[in-house]
Amino acid sequence: MKLLKPLNILFFIFVFAVLFLVVVASIYYFHFNAGGGFSNNPSDWGTFGDYLGGVLNPLFGFLTLIALLITIILQKQELDNTKMELNTTIKDAEKKRIETTIFQMFNFLSELCDKVTCHSANSIDVESKLYTGKKAFSELYYVLSAHNTKEVALVLQQGHSIDEDRIFRQALENFWHSDGRNILHYFQFIKQFLKRIDDNNLIDQPFYINLLKSQLSNDELCLFVYYCLWFNDKELIALVDKWEFFIAVQPNSLIKKVHQAEFRGAFGCPF
């Protein structure tokens, strides 16, 4: 549509030039020749040529300049359109590349999850069970809770006053230095996954963030909460707050409900 207007102008210039030529020739013919027919005298034709040249040359020169400017405008518009199409093609290709990488990361995340293992921590089991994948995360979350219970019992046994925050942080330290080491790489990968999505505004970021959240079970999300709480990674905390990453976690699922206050943005709560 942008090319139509200049082309119309060129057409009108051509029509105007032809009509003007006809009008000028007609005026000369009827005014100087008085309807006497065409002259056989070469000098009359010379005079007529001088007349046309004197009248039409400046006009045609001006119209040629206008046509040249319009041609330049047309070329510029074509170049701009080509650049826009090229930029669109480049963006589409980059978007496709990023989305391909993201889906590969989803596959890798699933593979990491399947490789997670944990032996049963339940003392009533005669034989220790080996859990894998999502079930392993559920068992590990139980283990973390058991670490906290054990620390509380130890403090009571020693007759010390109970400092719940200090006790729980000791439980976190014990967990991440023992059983939790098995899943450190898993949450480190999730951090990199979050960064990859957050850094690329060519893609539908909320869609992929929600898709990532949907891949994690409630126990995985709870463990991720305590991963963020223990390691206190400012960059990661900013990401989970920005994308309300823990909004699907029920506060009652946490070992202590008050831990929700550590990441109010991530839980979708006002600050």
Tens digits of per-residue pLDDT, 46-80? 666 676 677 667 777 777 887 788 788 878 888 88
Q: Which residues have CB under 8 Å from 223's CB, separation 6+?
A: 137, 140, 141, 144, 180, 183, 187
Give 34's pLDDT tier (boundaries 50, 70, 90): very low
Give 22's pLDDT tier (boundaries 50, 70, 90): confident
Specify the pLDDT at position 109.
97
H or E stretch at 119: strand 117-119
Specify the pLDDT at position 42.
67
Specify the pLDDT at position 143.
92
Inform me whether the pLDDT recorded for 45 exceeds 70: no
Residue indicated by tokens 């893609």: 203
Specify the pLDDT at position 73.
82
Inform me whether the pLDDT recorded for 1 exceeds 60: no
Give 189's pLDDT tier (boundaries 50, 70, 90): very high
Q: How far apart are CA 249 and CA 247, in angstroms?
A: 6
Residue indicated by tokens 């006009």: 59
The candidate with the shortest Cα–Cα distance to 148, out of 26, 230, 39, is 230
Q: Which residues have CB under 8 Å from 24's CB, separation 6+?
A: 51, 52, 55, 56
Q: Cβ distance 267 to 260 under 8 Å? A: yes
Calculate mean pLDDT across residues 182-210. Answer: 95
Specify the pLDDT at position 2.
47
Specify the pLDDT at position 234.
93
Question: With pLDDT > 90 as the criterion, what percentage of the chain qualifies?
Answer: 44
